[in-house]
Structure 1
Amino acid sequence: MEDATKQPGANTGLWQDPPWQESWQYAMDAWQRTVLFCDVLRRRANQYAEHNLSSAPHVLRFDVELVLSGRALPRPVNYGLVRIVPPADIEVDPRKRPFVVVDPRAGHGPGIGGFKADSEIGAALQAGHPCYFIGFLPDPVPGQTIEDIMRAQAAFLERVIELHPEADSRPCVIGNCQAGWAVMMLASTRPELFGAVIVAGSPLSYWAGVKGANPMRYTGGLLGGSWLTALTGDIGGGKFDGAWLVTNFEGLNPANTLWSKQYNVWSHVDTEAARYLEFERWWGGHVNLNAEEMQFIVDELFVGNRLATAEIVTSDGVHIDMRNITSPILCFCSKGDNITPPQQALGWILDLYRSVDDIRAHGQTIIYAMHETIGHLGIFVSGKVATKEHAEFASNIDLIDTLPPGLYEAVLIPRSSETAAPDLVLGEWIARFEPRSFDDLREMGGNDPDDELRFATARRVSEINLGLYRTFAQPFIKAIASDHAASLLARLHPARLPFEMFSDSNPFMAPIAMMADQVREERQPVSPDNAFVALQDFMSKQIETTLDVWRAWRDQSEEQLFLAVYGSPLLQAAVGLRASDEPPRRHPGEQPATLAFIRARIAELRARMSEGGLREASIRALVYVGRGHGMDERQLAVLRRIRARHKDGFSLQEFKRVLREQSLMLLIDEPAALAALPSMLPEGTEERAAALAAVQEVIESTGEMNEEVQARLDRVATIFTGGTAKPAIVRGPSAQARRRTS
């Protein structure tokens, strides 16, 4: 029988069913979704309580074994080193360098680096590397400082090195977000502990940014400096509540915080609940810092920006200078990151060095990888990023470790049917490292001298206000502060209160669980074609747009206020700064001590220009031919095969040392370095021919030979044959044939 509720033409146009029927279907669905959403909030709150009751709460997906507790060290800290137990289907090679992932202590608990199977830890395990994790407990040890944490992490790395005596290199250390600057500080003072450093979404140059896009950098100045940090620590009884840091992050995107995140769960509650609860387990796991730790972070980094200019000095008088890092540094950042924009992740390079040659003169290799769209958390949380960027970094860590000194960008090229030498490619992407200049960094945008003066003024104002607070207000605040009041304020914090309100401890939530069970049994989801669903989505977009407009107005107003206040000549003069003076902060690359170091290094390498034999000559020739052309993973694969064919092959560390020295010699005086090659070559033409063939095989492995590279290869061929005749260079397919038969 024909449905009497149908009307002629009801299935055309906006309405799929009669309006009254669609409205009833939507109302029933919306009510059921609301009940289920409330149950999700209840489960989230109970999960929060259970998570916080754990003795060592974390969100690692992998099983772990405790290796060393920071509480057992001479200067105890709340950090610890654990070994990641590989899943049953993954086998690690103890001869490969271990990976150590350090999680950020920025308000959240540990584990985000191993939050999913497809993660930084998962990528390292898939590549066959032993993996370790440095995490922390929710509460700091009383009196611990940032220096104590540095010493503890050094002890952790020493233990990892002890456990892997057969490893082909020192550990590769990954520092996420706020852990990035901590890792860089340690690598600056203990460079011998590191095989490579990867910092993901890590701010290192805090004043840097682009006008109209990065408002978070103005926060310290608009609050009058770090006095508020000191006040918060005093009210907290000597602890700084990490929930305040989380609140700062959430304030960057009010549309997502106040509406979109919850709306997405409510509107797709049947499918989104599990993902939401999994993420909220980490996002709501707030941790504390000692007041002294947070004060150091704000004074020296956030407001002071002293790390990027080597102005931080340890208690024993050691300058923390990132130019001391001898391992390759890979900075992974994203244009879509509003917490650590590319300028903050990479600006330290322009602060510390005068040019790429300056980087090379220090024997350093600096690489940056740029994602176009991913947000801050996605850099070390997204499974897509883990299976692409982090998987390629882990698979090609040896290539990263052997790049000649200089500045590079990591570019991932998809493998296709037209890819040359596909047998040399490990995954679905070809990792290529292309040389870059300082102009490439400057094109990203940044501060002008007036902006630098404004931030320097904000730093001076912060120091003055902090001094006033400590003199006149701090003694009174400490006298009235109590642990009970601090605990009560923490529970009432806006970032924690929703968990308390929706947990089972709230008697009004008792019926929700039963109602949710009943709804699941009688669930009647509405059709996605329902007109009211379209109206619902339309209204949601309007709310998001309104909040986005408000955010844009707020950010613009804050920026204009900061620029106007700290750009005032009167205020600048009052704090002892003038626009006509020298730059408001020092640039170590221009310091006499740095120049003296470079001159001494140049003199040493000039004196050794003719030292070495066929091995050193071959590496020098290889660097000369490939200079300015970049390297990719296929070339390293060829080098490995060549090394395997020779029983006298040397270690990766020795190869890295020779490669860097030969690169610097070519940088200092290329004509002299080439002129010295004949004296380094043996008399036998057979050995020379074999070495030349090896150089050619590496260069041609990518299938790309431009005119400059061809001319350099021809020149090397002339040198290796004694200048009597230019040999016939075998190109293209024959080079691939050699690889197939090797």
Structure 2
Amino acid sequence: MTTNAHSKSLQLGSDLARDAVAVNERTVGAVANALDQSGVQWNLLSKSMAVQSSRIMQDHTDRTRQLAQNMAECSQRLFSSRSIVKDWGEYLKDVGQRVALTMDALRERGDVFLEHEAAGCPPVLIYDYEVITDGRHLKRPCNYQLLRILPPEGVTVEDSKRPYIIIDPRAGHGGGIGGFKHDSQVGVALAKGHPVYFVSFGRDPVPGQTLADVMHAEAGFVRTVRARHPDSPHPVVTGNCQGGWATLLMAACNPDLNGPLVLNGAPVAPWAGAVGENPMRYNAGVLGGTWQPMFWSDLGAGQFDGANLVMNFEQLNPSRNYFGKYFDLYRDPEGGRQRFIDFERWWGGYFILNEAEIHWIVEQLFVGNRLVKNTAQLEPGVPVDIKAIKGPIFVFASQGDNITPPQQALNWISETYSDEEEIRVRGQRIVYMLHDEVGHLGIFVSSKVARKEHRELASTLETVESMAPGLYEMQIENIEGEGADKEFEVRFHERTLADLAALDDGQQDEMSFAAVAHMSETQSNIYQTFGRPTVQSLSTPTSAKALRDLHPLRVQRAALSSAQPATLGIKYWADMAREHRNPAAPENPFLELEKITADWIEQVMDYGRDVRDAWYELTFFSLWSGPLAAWFGQKNAAHRTLVDPESLRSLPEVEAALAHIKQGSLAEAVVRMLILLVDSNQSFRAEILDRWAQVFKHDEPFKGLTVDQRHRLLHEQSLIVTFDKQEAINTLPDLLPLKKDRMQAVALLRRIAGEVQKKPTPELFEMVDELCDILDLPKPQDEAALAPANNSETLPARSPADRKARSK
């Protein structure tokens, strides 16, 4: 008994000691993690302060220096002028006339706003159109419409050409911005003879409408366009801004829609961004998460006013939206009037979303980041997996975009695929373009910088489907000439996910957004339980309409319309100014002084914005990047589980392709050799791709293949080259047992390759030699196999010793 009790006592003591050690280890681990997170928080705060202060100091020092210099030069000219009194008189008269004309433009803006509202805010397209499908009459009704753009006089559209479908953003504004000008997306596609369709939407949603209903309607629109053009390739679907992620949703939930997708400035990964930039992504952490749109929707009797979103956009750049655009109109009220009115018609067309729609957008996309994490669902049983998309994806981003920075447009790729090999295995083609300057609206409106990208997309999209699967960057190089005579070369560079990661400054800050997402869920649950019943009981359709009518953005337009008695004299005053218009001479020094004053006002406003943004970011990281926030955000911090790269070879599609490595004929051999050559040369020019597309479509042995058969052929051969490159080369004789087939393969390759680059890579030389050896074909220096058509560039001859050394 005594021995047994003693042993139990020893065992108890041992267990207590072990538990104490475990508790101590957990405590030490927790302390270490807290210290690590405190270090992360300090790094984020110090980096934010360094970046923000450096940029503010540099930018405003340079601007102040330039303003001082301009002021000194202007003052010198002003006081040395012998006609200062005359200049002042002419300037005052000019100012009075410009004020009258500017006020009249604002009056017209108010009239246009009221007319646009009364008409239900139709699309602001400058083209005529016809309604093909009205979403209100679908089985799952919604306020979306499929429009066919009627080609203007002098433009001929061919129904056999690939159709273009443009989906505009429903982010507070109305539809039509993608066809706002003649040289926008619609105009570029029409000029090349493509049928163009436009997905627009009404101001007011159908009662009970959800984003799932919208997704099904958009998918039905694409199928309708395919049925209207049975002899053309699959349509190109272009999504602008929020229309971009809507396009991804549609394609992911409908894998049969496998035409090319173009995403212009689409915020797919909203947590991403660079520290010291992109303040809009901090809104939920500073102002509150999902409960905010829930509250405003309840005040709106179940509907969310899009004018609130527009106000958010305006506050990103107050100097431009509250002063700059009006000063530009005032400086040239005659030349800038129509441009101002046309833009304001779209910018001031405020649209409504149902509570369920804005709730999903905020909760699952912008705050929850669930689309990237593969946990988003539009409705029960409808998962949204971006990997399900089969068509090529083009992503257009810009460093000058302060609404959708490049990281938000591109980071979803590395969050979805384990590496670039998985992209190839999935048979996907992702092409991204990155610009240095163009702003958010310029991406899909009509920026001179963006215009050439749209033009080149229209001519390149049809050939991209002939590319081997993978990740590519599209670059426009060797630009020569101006205007209509501008020429440039398009090159596709094969990229890795590491190249995309280099565009970001790391992901240390994303744990903060995970904490915000968890807090947003908590806040929304509290509001839904305690706040929503009270707010809903106080809201009526009448009070909701009054709240919308009294929104500051609506009031500022309506207050200056002709409906207000106070504006009755503006038109008369403006007509008098036009009749007696006498602008001041361009060299008038008071005009220059006016411009300097405006620049100073803009700089003061910009300084206030920059200080605000710096405070905004520091507040965010102070609240949400510490140890407690990191612990709180663990629930929402998990990323998508990626496939182990080592396991890709065991995927069924890879094993099936490798099992058929010796099977095939001329078509398989030519595709395999082309992939090998392209892989050896790292990049290739668009004209090579064009020739390859022509051969793939019109020449034997490819022209009898369907589009799906061509895709399968490219996919299978890409897998073979990726996972067993040497055996892919060694088995080429099995695909081409006859000499005539080998010579035909070489002839096709020569047609596709055309001119050899001025500086071919050594790997290309080696691959050409290896292919020639395995197929028992003449080397390039012995016969002009793969030689340029014009003989202006040739592969340099190598000695037999060199070739022998390489073969070893």
- TM-score normalised by L of structure 2: 0.84
Q: Structure 1 residues 372, 667: closer, same or farther in 2, change over 3 A?
A: same
8 Å CA contact 2:422–2:648 kept in 1: the answer is no
What SS does structure 1 have at the residue aligned with 2:637?
Answer: coil
Give the aligned partner of residue 721 of structure 1. 776
2:691 to 632, 638, 650: 638
Letter in 2 for 1:588: T
- 1:418-452: per-residue Cα shift (whole Å, max 9, x none)? xxxxxxxx982322211112222122124433x12
Give the aligned partner of residue 181 of structure 2. 116
Instruction: State whether structure 2 residue 337 is matched by structure 1 residue 273.
Output: yes
Q: CA deviation at 1:647?
A: 7.9
1:261 to 317, 325, 344: 325
Give the aligned partner of residue 587 of structure 1. 640
Instruction: State whether structure 2 residue 740 is matched by structure 1 residue 686.
Output: yes
8 Å CA contact 1:714–1:726 kept in 2: the answer is no
Letter in 2 for 1:63: D
Q: CA deviation at 1:194?
A: 3.0
Give the aligned partner of residue 432 of structure 1. 491
- 1:375-411: per-residue Cα shift (whole Å, max 9, x none)? 1000000252564111110111122222211111111
8 Å CA contact 1:42–1:509 kept in 2: the answer is yes
Say how many residue pairs are matched: 713
Q: Structure 1 residues 645, 229: closer, same or farther in 2, change over 3 A?
A: closer
Give the aligned partner of residue 616 of structure 1. 668
Give the aligned partner of residue 443 of structure 1. 502
Instruction: State whether structure 2 residue 458 is matched by structure 1 residue 394.
Output: yes
Distance in 1 between residues matched to 2:592 and 2:648, nearest whole Å: 69
Distance in 1 between residues matched to 2:764 and 2:441, nearest whole Å: 41
Q: Structure 1 residues 605, 553: closer, same or farther in 2, change over 3 A?
A: same
- 1:54-77: per-residue Cα shift (whole Å, max 9, x none)? 256111111111111101111100
1:25 to 69, 80, 90: 90
- 1:637-662: per-residue Cα shift (whole Å, max 9, x none)? 32355454548623462333312221
8 Å CA contact 2:164–2:196 kept in 1: the answer is yes
Give the aligned partner of residue 487 of structure 1. 545
Give the aligned partner of residue 730 of structure 2. 675
Distance in 2 between residues matched to 1:556 and 1:173, nearest whole Å: 38
Q: CA deviation at 1:690?
A: 2.0
What SS does structure 1 have at the residue aligned with 2:94?
Answer: helix
Letter in 1 for 2:673: A
What SS does structure 1 have at the residue aligned with 2:175?
Answer: coil
What SS does structure 1 have at the residue aligned with 2:634?
Answer: coil
What SS does structure 2 have at the residue aligned with 1:611?
Answer: coil
Q: Structure 1 residues 55, 537: closer, same or farther in 2, change over 3 A?
A: closer
What SS does structure 2 have at the residue aligned with 1:589?
Answer: coil
What SS does structure 1 have at the residue aligned with 2:325?
Answer: helix
Distance in 2 between residues matched to 1:83 and 1:666, nearest whole Å: 43
Give the aligned partner of residue 629 of structure 1. 682
- 1:223-256: per-residue Cα shift (whole Å, max 9, x none)? 2211111000000111100001100101100111
Aligned ranges for residues 46-445 of structure 1 at < 5 Å?
A: 46-55=111-120, 57-167=122-232, 169-385=233-449, 387-414=451-478, 428-445=487-504
Point out the more displaced range, 227-236 or 391-400: 391-400
- 1:31-87: per-residue Cα shift (whole Å, max 9, x none)? 111111100000001011111222561111111111111011111000010111112
Q: CA deviation at 1:707?
A: 2.3
Distance in 2 between residues matched to 1:645 and 1:436, nearest whole Å: 30
8 Å CA contact 1:26–1:530 kept in 2: the answer is yes
Q: Structure 1 residues 156, 409: closer, same or farther in 2, change over 3 A?
A: same
Give the aligned partner of residue 561 of structure 1. 619
Instruction: State whether structure 2 residue 40 is matched by structure 1 residue 40.
Output: no
Distance in 1 between residues matched to 2:584 and 2:652, nearest whole Å: 76
What SS does structure 2 have at the residue aligned with 1:368?
Answer: strand
What SS does structure 1 have at the residue aligned with 2:165?
Answer: strand
Q: CA deviation at 1:309?
A: 1.6
Q: CA deviation at 1:596?
A: 7.4
Distance in 2 between residues matched to 1:639 and 1:735, nearest whole Å: 19
* % same residue: 37
Give the aligned partner of residue 719 of structure 2. 664
Distance in 2 between residues matched to 1:652 and 1:102, nearest whole Å: 28
Letter in 2 for 1:353: Y
Give the aligned partner of residue 530 of structure 1. 588
Instruction: State whether structure 2 residue 751 is matched by structure 1 residue 697.
Output: yes
Q: Structure 1 residues 282, 15: closer, same or farther in 2, change over 3 A?
A: farther
Point out the more displaced range, 186-195 or 476-485: 186-195
- TM-score normalised by L of structure 1: 0.92
Letter in 2 for 1:675: N
8 Å CA contact 2:466–2:693 kept in 1: the answer is no
Letter in 1 for 2:488: W
Distance in 1 between residues matched to 2:424 and 2:789, nearest whole Å: 35
Distance in 1 between residues matched to 2:216 and 2:716, nearest whole Å: 31
Q: CA deviation at 1:184?
A: 0.3
Distance in 1 between residues matched to 2:536 and 2:93, nearest whole Å: 55
8 Å CA contact 1:59–1:112 kept in 2: the answer is yes
What SS does structure 2 have at the residue aligned with 1:83?
Answer: strand
Letter in 2 for 1:710: F
Q: Structure 1 residues 603, 390: closer, same or farther in 2, change over 3 A?
A: same
What SS does structure 2 have at the residue aligned with 1:588?
Answer: coil
Unaligned stretches of 5+ residues in structure 1: 1-9, 418-425
- 1:168-211: per-residue Cα shift (whole Å, max 9, x none)? x2111000000000100111111221310000011000000001
Q: CA deviation at 1:711?
A: 1.9
Point out the more displaced range, 287-296 or 628-637: 628-637
Q: CA deviation at 1:96?
A: 1.8
Q: Structure 1 residues 22, 725: closer, same or farther in 2, change over 3 A?
A: closer
- 1:518-573: per-residue Cα shift (whole Å, max 9, x none)? 11011121112222212111111111111111111111111011101011322443
Distance in 2 between residues matched to 1:548 and 1:454, nearest whole Å: 27
Q: CA deviation at 1:597?
A: 9.3
Give the aligned partner of residue 42 of structure 2. none
- 1:479-506: per-residue Cα shift (whole Å, max 9, x none)? 0101111111111111111111100111
Distance in 2 between residues matched to 1:342 and 1:332, nearest whole Å: 9
Richer in helix (by share): 2
Q: Structure 1 residues 12, 500: closer, same or farther in 2, change over 3 A?
A: closer
Give the aligned partner of residue 4 of structure 2. none
Q: CA deviation at 1:693?
A: 2.3
What SS does structure 2 have at the residue aligned with 1:390?
Answer: helix
Distance in 2 between residues matched to 1:13 and 1:499, nearest whole Å: 38
Q: Structure 1 residues 527, 698: closer, same or farther in 2, change over 3 A?
A: same
Distance in 1 between residues matched to 2:254 and 2:650, nearest whole Å: 21
Point out the more displaced range, 646-655 or 312-321: 646-655
Point out the more displaced range, 33-42 or 674-683: 674-683
8 Å CA contact 1:703–1:732 kept in 2: the answer is no
What SS does structure 2 have at the residue aligned with 1:25?
Answer: helix
Tell me how large the CA RMSD over aligned residues is: 2.5
Letter in 2 for 1:694: L
Distance in 2 between residues matched to 1:403 and 1:282, nearest whole Å: 38
What SS does structure 2 have at the residue aligned with 1:270?
Answer: coil
What SS does structure 1 have at the residue aligned with 2:262?
Answer: strand
What SS does structure 1 have at the residue aligned with 2:147?
Answer: strand
Q: Structure 1 residues 81, 300: closer, same or farther in 2, change over 3 A?
A: same
Give the aligned partner of residue 422 of structure 1. none
What SS does structure 1 have at the residue aligned with 2:434?
Answer: strand
Distance in 2 between residues matched to 1:722 and 1:679, nearest whole Å: 15
Give the aligned partner of residue 655 of structure 1. 710
